[in-house]
Structure 1
Amino acid sequence: MAPDEPHDRFNDDLIGLDRDDPEAQAFAEHLDRLERVRPGYTVEGYLGGVSDFADSANRLGGHYRLMAAIVAILILLGVAIAAWDAVVFIVTTLLG
């Protein structure tokens, strides 16, 4: 099976379940997400993790979605503070 070819769970793991059942389809997608392998310690791996985080937050909804948004905002705030500190360090090093 090619890496980009979808895995047919209903022929291998979910034998006997109805392909048209929304719950069975959701479970098949869940199994695919569990078995997905990404390269570790690469930009692609990190971005894939962020994508999974955003997708799962959108699926949950409610206060879980709000908490995911707060976590994302805190992460962005941390990145902004780190970038600001780097800019201040570079400017003070060049001028001082």
Structure 2
Amino acid sequence: MGDSKDEREKFQEELIGLDPHDPETKAFAEHLDRMKRERPGFTVEGYLEGVQDFADSANRTTGHQRLLAVIVVGLLLLGVILTIWFALGDILSIIF
């Protein structure tokens, strides 16, 4: 998190008794910030922030959770590639 006073005081109640300079406390405060952040859900920016959160979470995980994230991304890419392939096939069949 940043050093501004508002950001430090935002989660004061949840962080009572914890060392503010401890890396685990900072990570917990960042987690709380991500959980309580409100973003527009029906805009391109909102969707992209959701994808960024997913990518950041996937990069922090290890083991089975990371494998599952890689499989989800792979399936999404496979779906996009198949959609483009079939669309190009239809376009080429119409033209020729």
Question: Any unmatched runs of 5+ in structure 2?
Answer: none
Secondary structure at the aligned position of 1:8 is classed as: helix
The amino acid across from 1:88 in the alignment is G
Q: State how far apart, in whole Å, the 2-side matches of 1:78 and 1:92 are.
A: 21
Q: C-alpha displacement at 1:7, in angstroms?
A: 2.1
Assess if the C-alpha contact under 8 Å between 2:11 and 2:29 holds in 1: no
Q: C-alpha displacement at 1:72, in angstroms?
A: 0.5
Question: Any unmatched runs of 5+ in structure 1?
Answer: none
Q: State how far apart, in whole Å, the 1-side matches of 2:6 and 2:85 are.
A: 43
The amino acid across from 2:7 in the alignment is H
Q: Deviations over 1:32-90 (max 9, x none)?
A: 00111222122222221111111111212122111111110111000111111111122
Assess if the C-alpha contact under 8 Å between 1:10 and 1:17 holds in 2: no
Corresponding residue of 1:93: 94
- Cα RMSD over matched residues? 2.2
TM-score (normalised: structure 2):
0.78
Classify 1:10/1:35 alpha carbon distance in 2 versus 1 (closer, same or farther; 3 Å): closer
* Number of equivalent positions: 91
Moved more, 71-80 or 86-95: 86-95
Q: C-alpha displacement at 1:26, in angstroms?
A: 1.4
Secondary structure at the aligned position of 2:21 is classed as: coil
